[in-house]
Amino acid sequence: MQISKLLAVTALATFASFGAYADEADGTDRALQFTSTRTASEVRTEALSPVKISNGSTGVTALAGSNVDRQALRNEAITAVRAGQTSQGEVGLM
């Protein structure tokens, strides 16, 4: 009984391993081949520059101006936390 189970497991493992050697039906490796028209430095420069997001997207294209002092905003936030007006942890208004 043990030998039949061992043979069954071996056969199953053998058939399962065939997927690891999958290739094209005609046996050729079809690697993507392309010719770049830009230099590597141009690509690096573009990768480092921020992406301009058009209107209606999820990104921000410019910083919003503010006339509030940093310390005044901090004090207002501390007051709101002490008054219980802010959500805590993962529980909040959604």
Which residues, other chains included, contact 60 with Cβ-Cβ below 8 Å and sequence gap of 6+? 53
- Over residues 34-75, the pLDDT tens digits come to 788 889 999 888 888 877 666 666 665 566 777 889 999 999
pTM of the model as a whole = 0.29
pLDDT of residue 81 exceeding 60, the answer is yes
- Over residues 18-36, the pLDDT tens digits come to 666 556 666 556 666 778 8
pLDDT of residue 92 exceeding 60, the answer is no
Cα→Cα distances 9→3, 12, 16, 22, 44, Å? 10, 5, 10, 21, 51
Residue 41: the pLDDT is 92
